[in-house]
Each structure stands twice: as C-alpha cells, then as structure tokens.
Chains A and B, each alone.
Chain A
Amino acid sequence: MEQPEQNVAAQTETTTELPKPAALQDMQPSDVPVSGPTVFETKNVSIYYGSFRAVTDVSLAIHENEITAFIGPSGCGKTTVLRTLNRMNDLVPGARVEGEVHYRGASLYASGVSPISVRRRIGMVFQKPNPFPKSIYDNVAYGPRINGIRNKAKLDEIVEKSLHQAALWDEVKNRLNKSGLGLSGGQAQRLCIARTLAVEPDVVLMDEPCSALDPIATGRIEDLMRDIRSQYTIVIVTHNMQQATRVSDRTAFYSVLRDEKSDTRTGVLVEYGRTAQIFEDPQDSRTQAYVTGRMG
C-alpha cells in the first residue's frame, strides 16, 4: 500500500497564518518508513460554535499506520479538530464545520453520511476513562453487540482478542464478570481502549488519554500505542511534549490567534511535519517558543 511517488507531494502539508510564505520541505531521515496512503485530509477547515469561530483554516493530512500528535497550549482547538474527525462535534448544539474533511476519499460531512457509520470506523478514547457501569465483558462486548454480533463464542473471541491488544487480558481474565467501575485508572483506560478496538475500527483517536494517569500507567499505554500502530492509524492530542516525541511519527502544533477587536481567541494550525523536525528544527518561531518551553 505504499506509493512513494504520490507522497512526496502529500507530505508537504504545512500551514501558518503569519505573513511569511508557508511551503516547507519535510526532512526525511532514512530510518523513518515511507508514508502510507492518506487516511484523513482536511482542507481549510474552520469550526464554529454558533457564531464563535473556535478553529480556523486547518489543512493537513493524516497518514495510515502512523501516530500523529496534536500539541499546543490550552484553548488552541486541538481537541476540537480531533472531534471533527469522527463527527463527535455533532453532539454540541450549534457546532458547525466549514471546509472539507475527507476520510479515505469520502467526504465526512456530505449529506447522507451517517455519523454512526463514521464512528464505527473512527473510534475515540477520552481523557477521563469512562467505562460503562457494566461488567468488563459487557463493556468490551457492547460495540460488537450493537453491530449485530450475538453469537456467544464469537463475542468471547472478540473480547479476548481486544483485551489482549489493550494489554489488559492477563489482569482481568479471571474477573470478566466484575464491574468495569472497579478498575484502577490505568486499567480502566485500557478497558476503554479494548472497548474501542473491539469494533475493529480503522482509526483510533485519543484525546489526552494519559492526562488522568500516573507515569507507570502512562508508559503502558504508550507501549500499547506502539504495538497496535501497525494495524491502526492513531491521532493523539496531548499536553505532554515528551509524550509526543516518544510515540508520534508526525506532530501538528496548534496555537491561539487573538483577535483584539472582538476579544476572541481562535485556534490555528501553525506547523505540521515529522516529529523529529518539529522538535529539533521548527520552522515557525511560535513552534520554537512552545517546544523549547518558553510559552504554553
């Protein structure tokens, strides 16, 4: 599935709102694998809540089987952009998306597109672990069940496989009937990941999945991400720059644009590229200020 000729053009996606010209070449260290096909492509996406413009003019491409990190200070819209990728912003009254969001060639916001179908393919793990007040088994089986799988043997198989993938099987295999609420923070988050993987999505979106967890639990989830990368495409929002450098292949840095006249803050994509380049050789001064810790 690798088409290197096409990708040389695709990987130069970078935008900035500053008057400086934008086009930038990605550096491509020889040990980084060649990029796969584009899973998401956004063109000039702006997101509004009512008349308030939360994010403006985001254009980027997410590649298959890569981990892409969204970083930036609070309020810069990275979670808003993430939630646009699986139509979770539909749940907010008054939310509106302008521009184009394409998932593997299909427009996500075209009429006739069902958010239910979208979300089955593009899963999400939340900041605070949110297991259902059901048994561990029923938590993981919930997704397959609503998709019509009733056969007990098949469900058992899916539950076990998903819990293995989430590195939780050994810890819970003897208490699948116990409530999902009785798990520690790290375990609960892995349960949520298992639940997401159980529907065999294409993409896994993660909204600061480790921010409520201790460092050991965080480490296990980061290991998990690396393990499953070959089967899924992952986009992760994180406040933790070290985490971005540890796990991600590409990084998108967002910042806040303040409009003095109306005193509003709008999120904007400042720079996007391979993680190594963003952190070692940022092209935009705002990126440099953030990653060297002078702001945010």
Chain B
Amino acid sequence: MTAMVAPGQAPDLREPKGWRRSKNRIMTTLMVVAFVLTIIPLGFVLFTVIAKGASIISWQFLTGSPIPPNVLPAGIGGLWPAVLGTLLITGLATLMAVPLGVLGAIYLNEYGGKGWLAALIGFMSDVMTGVPSIVMGLFIFSIWVLHFGYSGLAGAFALGCLMLPVVIRSSYEMLRLVPDPLREASYALGATKSRVTVTVVLPAAIGGIVSGALLAIARAAGETAPLLFTILTVTTANPNVFSGPNTSLPSQIFSNATQPYVGAQDRGWGAALTLIVICFILMIAARVVTARFTRYSR
C-alpha cells in the first residue's frame, strides 16, 4: 500500500483495481433497482384502475341513484349515494378535526413550551398516528354506535380521530417555523397572546396548515375500515348525515371487490377511479398551496 513514487516515474492515478469499483457500481445499481421496484406496482395499479374505470365513469354513473344490486351491469343506476356519503362524512370529519387539531398545535407551540404536558401530548399525538384505523372504528362503535345507532356522524367521528393527530403534527411544524420577531412585534403593540396567535401567527402559517389539512383529508377520504362498523353500507343516498346508515366510495369498493358479478366489479373499478382522482386532486392542491402560499418553510 505504499504511496511513495519511484523517482522519475509519474504516479498511476487510475481506478484502483479489483472489487472496490465493482462493489460501488453494484450497490448503486441496486439502489436504482429499488426505485424501479416501486414504479412497477404504482404504474400497474394506476394503469389498471384507469383502464377499467374510465369506461364506466359517466355523469350518470356519478349522479345516478340508487346503487343497483350486484348482479346488474354497470350501466344501470349509479354511485351517487357513495359520492354523497364520501363528501358529507369526510366533510364533517374535516370540520371537526381540523379546528381541533390546529388548536391543539397552537397549545403545543404557543402555550405548552417545554413543559412535561406538552411533551407528553406531542409524543402521544405522534403515537396516535400509528393506531390502526380499524381500532378507531371499533372505538366509535363501542362508544357511540351501540347507543345511538349507525350514522354518518359516527363515521365522521371515526375519521376525525384518524385525522386529528395528523393535523396536529403538521400544523405544529408550521407554527414552529413562524419566527419569533413577528410575535414580539405584536406583543409590543399591546396585543394579548390569543390575539397575537390568531391575527399574526396563524395567518403566517396558514399555507402550510392548509396544505397539511388537505393531505389529512385525502387520507381520510380513502379510509374504509373506520366506516365499516359506524355507517354500515347501504345502497340508497342518505343526505342526513346525523342519523341512519350511510355509505361511501371506499365502502362500496370494499363490498364490491369480493363480488363475482361483472357489474359489481365494474362499479368497483369506477368507484376506485373516482376515489383516486379525488385523492390526487387533494394532493395536488396541497402542493400548490405549499408552493404559492407558504411564507416560511424549512
């Protein structure tokens, strides 16, 4: 391993011989393969959903009602009950989870500071993001449905519990980025803490908060398990979200997936495409909000 060069001879600066270069190349190739291994299923799924779902989707499909029995082919009836259900239930869940989540994040960042309670809440909030969605469904079943019956509201509670810790975490990260001098300037003008938070800090962080909320909504819209035991799955539209069983796009997909009838499967693909489009739109909206409206980022 001597580096001393023989006098009069220029040093050999080419690649060291042997396995080092090959090992490096192999590892880099493996990393690229890892990425390709994710493109393949992604492409496969998207391709299938679009191919099979596109032919089903039509205005009639999205707005027709009620959802026909499984034996019937796809042209009859429509999925409106499911679309309505998704909109109403996810919307209600959002109305509950987002304000509470933002307030929780405000507590953690503005009031809690380094205290033990804030640390505990922050930690447990992160742990709560790992609670399986089906457990949330079982929880709401035990505590609400057994007493008040199935309803869209119960489903919204379950989805809300799923969304809450996600909104807390993302809002907290955004609030943290708002620089202190902004708060201090407002205090110096004699504002109370709540006023400072609501009129200065929140607007400064609003882009990131909205973006995080949109992603939480996208996740909730696609959830099935929490709705299984809270809304049941029916085939007629139920605009009253506070009473009576309901349905949603993911619920319909789930019940159709195990059906042997072509019509049911077709409806399943159509619903899947609709659901994916909704989630994508929300994801893109989140990115746009981040790009255009976020003032402070990492």
Contact = CB atoms under 8 A, between A and B. Distances in A.
Nearest to A103: B11
B10 A106 contact: yes
A104 B11 contact: yes
B1 A112 contact: no
A32 interface: no
Contacts, number: 52
Given A146-B20, A148-B18, A106 B3 contact: no
A112 B14 contact: yes
B43 interface: no
Contacts of B11: 103-106, 121, 202
Q: Which residue among B1, B4, B7, B14 has the maximum number of chain A CB atoms within 10 Å of its CB?
A: B1
Interface residues on B, range: 10 to 19
B14 A200 contact: no
B108 to A, nearest CB: 31
Interface in B1-23: 1-5, 7, 10-16, 18, 20
Given A146-B20, A148-B18, A120 B3 contact: yes
A200 B13 contact: no
B3 A121 contact: yes
B26 to A, nearest CB: 16
Which of B2, B4, B11, B13 has the most CB atoms of chain A within a 10 A radius of its CB? B13
A198 to B, nearest CB: 10
Contacts of A108: 13
Nearest to A87: B13
A118 B13 contact: yes
A200 B16 contact: no
A114 interface: yes
Interface string A108-146: 100011101110110000000000000000000000101
A113 B12 CA distance: 8
Contacts of A146: 20
B2 A200 contact: yes
A201 interface: yes
Nearest to A113: B13
Chain A: interface residue count, which band? 20 to 34
Contact of A200 (B3, B5, B10, B15): B3
Contacts of B15: 114, 116-117
Given A104-B11, A113-B14, A114-B14, A149 B3 contact: no
Contacts of A104: 5, 10-11
Interface string A147-161: 111000000000000
Interface in B31-87: none
Point out which of B5, B14, B20 has the most chain A C-beta atoms below 10 A from its C-beta. B5
A54 interface: no
A147 to B, nearest CB: 6
A116 B16 CA distance: 8
Nearest to A120: B3
Interface in A82-121: 103-106, 108, 112-114, 116-118, 120-121
A100 to B, nearest CB: 14
A145 to B, nearest CB: 11
A256 interface: no
Contacts of B18: 148
A163 to B, nearest CB: 17
Nearest to A202: B3
A117 B7 contact: no
Contacts of B3: 120-121, 199-202
Contacts of A18: none
A199 B12 CA distance: 16
A96 B3 CA distance: 27
A1 interface: yes
In the complex, which of the residues A114, A118, A144 has the most CB atoms of chain B within 10 Å of its own CB atom? A114
13 contacts: A37-B7, A104-B5, A106-B10, A106-B11, A108-B13, A113-B13, A114-B13, A146-B20, A148-B1, A149-B1, A199-B1, A200-B3, A202-B3
Interface of A: 1, 37, 103-106, 108, 112-114, 116-118, 120-121, 144, 146-149, 199-202
Given A1-B7, A114-B16, A117-B15, 6 more contacts: A105-B10, A114-B13, A117-B13, A117-B16, A120-B16, A201-B3
Q: Which 6 A-B pairs have the closest CB atoms?
A: A105-B10, A106-B10, A114-B15, A113-B13, A202-B3, A121-B3
